[in-house]
Amino acid sequence: MPSVRDVAVRHDLPPLARVVTREDVKAYADVSGDVNPLHQDDDVARAAGFPGIVAHGMFTMGHLAACVSRWAGGPERISRLSAQFRAPVFMGEQIVAGGRVKAVDVERGVALLECWVSVERDGATGWPIKRGEAEVRLDP
């Protein structure tokens, strides 16, 4: 895991990709308790104007948190995390979480990150999460 003295501003986190499946989203619904049918029932999702079920925003954010946690050395090192959900994620799509160090506070032993989740769709890049932020505690 990185030391606060070794981390530089503009350092990129290793991106983390995954293909989102129905099974993943169902597993998330079961464990989180968020059983909104928009995420499980195609008819409900179509009535809401989507081509089929969409992943929970929190599924996408959970993936982003995993990307940050992997880099930082564990979830216990994440002291702040925020995201806005800007675009839906459909089944079978690959999402890629990433981040970049925006600032380092050596005194406090923390790094501030900008983080995001992107998806390639119809030849363009979409941003299910853009301008997310994290504060991570690092080793001295």
Which residues form the interface with other proteins (CB under 8 A)?
24, 27-28, 30-34, 56-59, 61-63, 65-66, 69, 74-76, 78-85
Number of C-beta neighbours around residue 55 at 10 A: 25
Number of C-beta neighbours around residue 91 at 10 A: 18
Q: Which conformational region is residue 131 in: left (phi greater than 0), alpha (psi within -120 to 50 degrees), or beta? A: left
| In the complex, minimum distance from the CB of residue 2 to other proteins, in angstroms, rounded to a whole number | 17
Q: Which is nearer to other proteins, 11 or 78 (CB)?
A: 78
Q: Which is nearer to other proteins, 53 or 56 (CB)?
A: 56
| In the complex, minimum distance from the CB of residue 85 to other proteins, in angstroms, rounded to a whole number | 6
Q: Which is nearer to other proteins, 78 or 112 (CB)?
A: 78
Q: Which is nearer to other proteins, 8 or 17 (CB)?
A: 17
**Nearest to 113, CA basis, from 97, 133, 139, 140:** 133
| In the complex, minimum distance from the CB of residue 123 to other proteins, in angstroms, rounded to a whole number | 26
| In the complex, minimum distance from the CB of residue 135 to other proteins, in angstroms, rounded to a whole number | 9
| In the complex, minimum distance from the CB of residue 138 to other proteins, in angstroms, rounded to a whole number | 15
Whether residue 33 contacts residue 121, with contact meaning beta carbons closer than 8 Å, is answered with no
What sign has the CA pseudo-torsion 39, 45, 50, 51?
Answer: positive
Instruction: Return the amino acid letter for 116.
Output: W
Q: Which is nearer to other proteins, 8 or 19 (CB)?
A: 19
Whether residue 92 contacts residue 85, with contact meaning beta carbons closer than 8 Å, is answered with no
